[in-house]
Structure formats: C-alpha cells, structure tokens
Structure 1
Amino acid sequence: MRAAVLFAGLMTATVAQAAEPIRIGLTSVLSGPTYDRGQSEQYGAQLAVNKINPSGGVLGRPRELYYADNACKLDIGLAGTRRLIEQEHVSVLIGALCTPVTRAIMPVIAEAKVPLVIATSAGQDFVDASGVGGNDYAFKTIPSEVDIAQSLMRWLKSQNVNSVAIVAAADTFPQANALAMAKAAQDAGIRITRQEALDKTTTDFGAVLEKVKAGAPDQVVTVLGPYTAAFFKAYEASGWKVPLTGRIDFAQALAAVSPQFRESDALSDMTGVTVFTPVQQIPVIQDFVANYRAHYGLVPTQRSFFIYEATLLIADAINRAGSDQPAAIQQALKTTTMPSLLGSTYAPDDHNHAHTPLQISAIRGGKPVVIATE
C-alpha cells in the first residue's frame, strides 16, 4: 500500500460508465516519516468516492481522484499542485495537510481560479486570508485554533471555571493554540494564572508543575504535542489533583500513566476538545466509523473524516452548480448548506469558513466519551 502512494500519481475510482469523469485533485503528504497522515486522507477521499460513484456519480459522471504527494516540501508541493491543475485538469483541489505547503499554493489556485478546499490545515491565518478581501478561491472547512479555543473556554466558563494555567509545547502548532487559548480565556472572563512553554531543554516536568501549581488555577489547559507522555508521568508523580483540559491526546495520556492511576479515576475530571472523535455515539458517526474500518481495518482519524466530508461537499457543490467548471464550483461552495455528520452545516461565513460543532470529551470507565457539544 505504501509503495502505491510514494509517487504523485493517478488514483481512479473504477466505475462502469463511459461518461467523462469529474476530476478532483488532492495534494497531501504521501511519503516520508508522516506518510500515514496523508494516507488517512487518501482513505477518506476514496471512501467518499466509493459512496457516490456506484449510485451514478455526480451529474451522471464518475469521479476520479488525482493525488499529488507534496512530501511537506514547498518545491514539491508547488510543482505537484501545478501538475494537477495544468496537466491533469482537475476542477477543484483539496489540500494540503502540510501548513507551509497550503500557504504556498494559495496564490497558485487564486491565479488559476481553481477552488481549494482546506480540510486539514488548521490555522486561523487561512481564515483571515480567504473570502472577502482575500483569496476567494480558498475555502476552509474545519475549525481553526481560534474556534477551538473559544469553544473550550465557553464550555469551561459554563462549568464555573474562573482561572486556568496554560502549558504548551514550544512548537509552532501548540504555540498557536496556546495564544488562542489565552485570548479566548481573557475574552470569556477566565483569569490566566501562568503560561509555560515546553521545549527540548525541558527535563524536569515536575518543576514545571510546581510553578503552575503556585498560581492555584482551577484547571490547567494543555497542548503538549511530543511532551504528552513526560508531562502525564510527572502529573501522576506530583499527586496534584487539578483537572487537566485542552487539546489532549487521550490515548497517549492513558498510556503514559500507571494502570493503578488509570483505574483510580484520578483522570475522571480530565477533558479535551476535538472536532471529530470516533467514540461519539451518534448513529451516522458510528456508521462512518464502521464503514471505514470495514474498508481499511483501521479506526478513522480526524483527517480521514475531514477529507471524507470535504469530498462529499465538493460533490454536493457540483451537483447544485450543474457543472464541474471551477468557477461554478466556487460559487456553489460559497452558497452551500450541506449538513455535516457532526451537526450544523458547512454554510461559510464571509471568509469562506464553515463553523461545525466541537466535541468535549472526558474519561469514563477508563475510556474516552463525548460529554458535551459546543
């Protein structure tokens, strides 16, 4: 499977129809150490095509997916995007997973006037740069770090949380989230007692916790990235019972602590905010999870889900436009009201940005469950 995606090649959904196919391009990270992330996007897109093509495709025509491996490198990403547009003649693009590549290709799609659905690059800067006053061919379909922070702080305020400390990795993505969390907390009237950044020089996580503890926050907001395991080991050792929240990888957190700690319900007050989680007990979500597992033998990731719905969103736009011309697709995307399996719709704001619900998760009986939707 991996060998099949190491080159930027054509992947077609085989449909017994003679009609000219509708061409959709996807640029993602399909090689290198994080190739599995792009592969999960590939799986999500193909699952959507498998859903649509057997029932007649779009406008009575099959859809074909064309992939370009951007390898999370600017030169490769730019060349691959131009190939999809100029040689493969795709009508619309999805991409690019790797944030720097997504930024780099935005001028390319604007010049070519080919819509780009940004379904996995999370930055608020894509929202600010799209739609009114910016790139009108870029559409961001997932929440930004600002949306996520606002939802979490709104929920925390509803739970009578009045103060938080923020601990985040010093990497670009966690720090963008930490800044958004700090602003959202202040806007919600939640006091920030301390902010700590973790980097490669951080070796004593217990000392970090002691500094945070001195401010006596009601909860600690975390965006830990590669420091999740070390932080949770130190949290267990500290004996501090302050609830943790934020963008938490529950699987890593639970794996880092001892079985006794897990079974003691010491993490029962821990919460996390996410967009999609396969544990959400909504029938349509569980149907998607079951279908994905049946096809690939894996549990879908957020990326799988985002690309799956982005591919369906494009199909809906083409159907409503009655055309696969890029300009027609662009206008249809601007007026979409297609529902998401998460609830709400993909109706965009003036910046071509959709606002779908977020999930608040917690640990119950040693397993993640969704306890609220924001």
Structure 2
Amino acid sequence: MVKQFGKLKVVFKSAALTLAASAAFACPVQADTLKVGLVAALSGQSAKSGEAITRGLTVAIDEINAAGGILGQQVELIRRDDESNPSKGLLATRELIQKEGVSVIFGGLDTPVSLAIVPVINKLKVPYVGTWAAGTPITKNGAKENYAFRVSAVDEIVDEALLSYALKHYGTQKPGMILINNPWGESNEKGLTKALDARGMSAVGIERIEGSDVDVVPQLTRLKEAGVDTLFMVANVSPSAQVVKSLERMGWDVPIVSHWGPAGGRFSELAGPNADQVEFIQTYVFSAPGTDARSDALFASLQQRYPEIKSHADVTPAVGIANAYDAMYLTAKAIELAGSTEGPAIRKGFYSIDQYDGLIKNYQTPFTPDNHDALGPDDYVFTHFVDGSIVVVKK
C-alpha cells in the first residue's frame, strides 16, 4: 500500500509480531523507540472493537516504520485492556504514561472509560486521541489546556444525523429512545433532545437499559404503549442485542435507528436473525472489491499482516480500523511538526496540521484550539449487518 507521509513515500512492509499474554503489543522496533499506547476493550463482548483499533494502528505503524519512523525513531505500540471498565482504563493510562513513557494515548470504544481518562491526560499533559468513543464531553471537556483529540464520531453531530435519517426514511412523528444507563446514554439523550427541539418535536418516551439486562420487554412495552413509531437506540453490543430479541418476543416491528454500538462486537451473532433490521451509523465501510483502490489496498495490507482475514466480514467493524489508521497518521504528522515527543509540543503540532489525505477523507485543518474533532456531519454513512458483514443501507 502506498501513501504520502510528509515528503516520504511510504511502502507497506509486512512483519510478524507477537501478541503477549499481558496484552502488550509491540510493533517491530529498534532500541530507541517512540512509544504510543492504546487503552481499549481487548476482551469481553466488545473485544472486536479493540481488535479493529489495534489492526488500524499497527498497519499504519508498519508503514510509518518502513519509511523511517517518526523523528527518526521507530514507533512501538503498547496495549492495555480496559475491559470496558473506567477504573481499569484509568489505571492502564497512568501505567502507560508513568511507567512505559508513552508520548500519546489512543482510546477505545467506551465513552465512560474515555471520560475517566481525560482529566488525567489533561493533568499530565499527554495527548489522548480517541478512535471510537463518541461522547461529546470527551473533547468538549472544558479544560483550559485540552489534550483530548478525536478521529471518530461525535454524539451531538451523530444525534442530528440519526434524526434527519429517521425523518427522511420513516417520516418519524413519535420518536422514542432506549439508551444505555451511563454517561454515553446521557450524552445522546441531550443530543437527540436538542435535535428534536430544533424541529419543534419531542420524544414520546425515553427508557434506560443496563449492560447486564437480559430482557428489556418492560421498557419496550412502555414505549410501544406511548405510540412510538421510530426507536432511537444507543447501547453497545450486548444490550443492543437484547433490545432486538425483546422486540422479537413482543412481535413489535418498529424501525430501529441506532448509534454505532452494535458494530463493536458479536452483534449479528447475539441478536439473531433480526440483527439486519437495526440501521446504525458508521464513519467508514470497506467498498466492494474493485470499486475503490484505497479500500482495496488497505484490505490487502490487512490480509498480509493478518492471514486469518479472508473476507470483509473478517474485518468487521471497519470503522475501528479506519478511525485508528487515520488517527495514527495524523498523530505522526503532529509529532513531526512539533519536532518533539513532549505533550505540550505535540498538542500544538495537532493544530499545525494543514492537510492530510486520509482513508476516511481528505482532512483540511482537522484540529483547531476550538475544535478537537477531525470528523464532522458529512463523514457518516448508515449501515446494517448482512450475513455477518456491515454494509451500507440501500434505500
């Protein structure tokens, strides 16, 4: 795969790597390395999200290292499993910064974990680059010196997109919400309510679910009785699957317009035959073979790097790969522009990026002091599962 990085032409070079039981993952390195960390869900129901982020980062790092690294140093990735637990994510972050000496932390799927990490990285002045979690307050955290950046969706923008999609395709008049009972759910309740208010609308029902729920029929029954004609869902893999199975038991056929939580793991397996009815937002989907050269090139690189990948179904979710891939290259550019691995200098380096032709899009001034989110409302696409693969919804 060939990409332009600064003035260097980057040629992908495959290398065999070893995954240690400690969950530390090292790319090919020399003695003098530039360390970056990843704190993400590497086990449990959302492990596929951590796997996808790892793949995106490592392919980009392989390419960068083959071109000479960053500031003449080879890049080393060190992973830690947060198990979708904010306390574990916080401890992992401190370890990576204070013990391993990483220059940057990349984040994973869970908004509660990211929100726990952000105050620490702002205090220690180490940049944090989110690659999945979409909670609005992650980057809009109110810090005077904000070190949280993101190459991913943003809840308040996603919520506007969800409502626009529902209005266009389902003529929604009586929306309802079913939201995970955590800060991510709260963030989207605010965003969806704001989007509805702007149109003189309101939700006829709002229900909460827990990650451990195995039956959400009571909540869904209340929404059905309220007359809900479109269901907005915000939850990760397991609770989203329970919503689908509970709807099936009820015999309630209602459109489900969802945030991207179902993409983070074994949703199609857990939700059963009706998994394809959930339409959810993404920032990237691999194109059909032969239709997009860049998509084909990245997929070929992934297959060479990970022999177990046989088809696009094996790289689901692509969003984690793409977000992480672009995030690594943007971070590399920030460090090169900074000419330093010190956090405050890297932070300024992010603001100095004027252009990067990435996988998801051609980024033009992706970060400014007032905007730490590289992706915007024009960078989303609606998808669903078909035979285990995430594909674009065709309406």
TM-score after normalising by structure 2: 0.73
Q: Which range moves more in the overlay, 148-157 or 341-350?
A: 341-350
What's the counterpart of residue 342 of structure 1?
360
Give the aligned residue type for 2:297: D
2:283 alignment partner AA: V
Partner of 2:267: 252
What are structure 1's unaligned runs of at least 5 residues? none
Q: Which amino acid in the other structure matches residue 138 of structure 2?
A: F
SS in 1 for 2:322: helix
Aligned mates of 1:117, 1:173 — CA distance in 2: 18
Structure 2: how far apart are the matches of 1:371 and 1:275?
13
Structure 2 counterpart of 1:352: 372
Displacement, 1:152? Answer: 1.5
Aligned residue for 1:128, secondary structure, equals coil
Partner Cα distance (2:152, 2:372) in 1 = 11
Q: Shift of residue 96 of structure 1?
A: 5.8
**Distance (Å, rounded) in 1 between the aligned partners of 2:269 and 2:213:** 24
Instruction: Write out per-residue CA displacement over residues 198-226 of structure 1, whole angstroms, 9 at most, x where no aligned residue.
Output: 45678472x65554344444422223543
Corresponding residue of 1:140? 150
C-alpha offsets along residues 122-151 of structure 1, whole Å, 9 cap, x if unaligned? 321212215xx5332221222222221112
Distance 1:285 1:151, change over 3 A: farther
Letter in 2 for 1:299: V
Report the counterpart of residue 212 of structure 1 in structure 2: 223
SS at match of 1:64: strand
State the one-letter code of the partner of 1:275. T
Aligned to 1:310: 327
Asked if the contact 1:293/1:300 (under 8 Å) is kept, the reply is: no
Deviations 1:89-128 (A, max 9, x none): 3332323655455344434433433222222333212122
**Larger CA deviation: 97-106 vs 295-304:** 97-106
Identify if the C-alpha distance between structure 1 residues 140 and 75 changes in structure 2 by more than 3 Å, giving closer, same or farther: same
The residue aligned with 1:48 is 60
Cα distance between partner residues in 1 of 2:316 and 2:339: 31
Q: Which has the larger radius of gyration?
A: 1
What is the distance in 1 between the residues matched to 2:181 and 2:86?
23
Aligned counterparts of 1:95 and 1:163: Cα–Cα separation in 2? 36
Of the candidates 335, 350, 358, which is equivalent to residue 333 of structure 1? 350
Query: Partner residue of 1:167?
Result: 178
Tell me the CA shift for residue 50 of structure 1.
0.9
**Helix, strand or coil at the partner of 2:26:** strand
1:256 and 1:88 map into 2 onto residues whose CA distance is 39
Matched, 1:153 2:159: no
Partner letter of residue 353 of structure 1? D
How far apart in 2 are the matches of 1:209 and 1:193? 12
SS at match of 1:196: strand
CA distance in 2 between counterparts of 1:278 and 1:197 reads 33
Partners of 2:326 and 2:360 within 8 A in 1: no
Shift of 1:329: 1.8
Greater alpha carbon shift after TM alignment, 31-40 vs 176-185: 31-40
Instruction: Give the residue type in structure 2 aligned to 1:173.
Output: W
The one-letter code sitting in structure 1 at the alignment partner of 2:330 is L
Shift, 1:316, TM fit: 1.7
Structure 2 residue 107 is the aligned partner of structure 1 residue 95: yes
Name 1:369's counterpart in structure 2: 391
CA 1:365–1:90 in 2, change beyond 3 Å: closer, same or farther? closer
Amino acid at match of 2:284: F
Give the 3-state SS of the residue equivalent to 1:361 in structure 2: strand
Alpha-carbon distance, 1:49 to partner:
0.8
| Cα distance in 2 between the residues matched to 1:101 and 1:204 | 25
Structure 2 residues not aligned, in runs of 5+ = 1-15, 309-313
State the Cα RMSD in Å. Answer: 4.0
Amino acid at match of 2:145: N
Question: Hey, what's the Cα distance between the residues in 2 that align with 1:196 and 1:70?
Answer: 27
8 Å contact kept, 2:50–2:109: yes
Distance 1:97 1:161 in 2: 29
Aligned residue type for 1:330? R
Return the alpha-carbon distance in structure 2 between the equivalents of residues 173 and 105 of structure 1: 14
Contact 1:6 1:31 (C-alpha < 8 Å) held by counterparts: no
What is aligned with 1:85? 97
Deviation at 1:24, TM superposition (A): 2.2
Q: Tell me, yes or no, if the aligned pair for 2:208 and 2:219 is still in contact at 8 Å.
A: no
Counterpart residue identity of residue 285, structure 1: S
Deviations 1:297-331 (A, max 9, x none): 24153333332222111112223334444333211
Q: Displacement, 1:185?
A: 2.5
- Counterpart code for 1:143: A
Label 1:208 to 1:174 Cα distance change in 2 as closer, same or farther (>3 A). same
* Partners of 2:89 and 2:113 within 8 A in 1: yes
CA contact (8 A) 2:166 2:230 kept: no
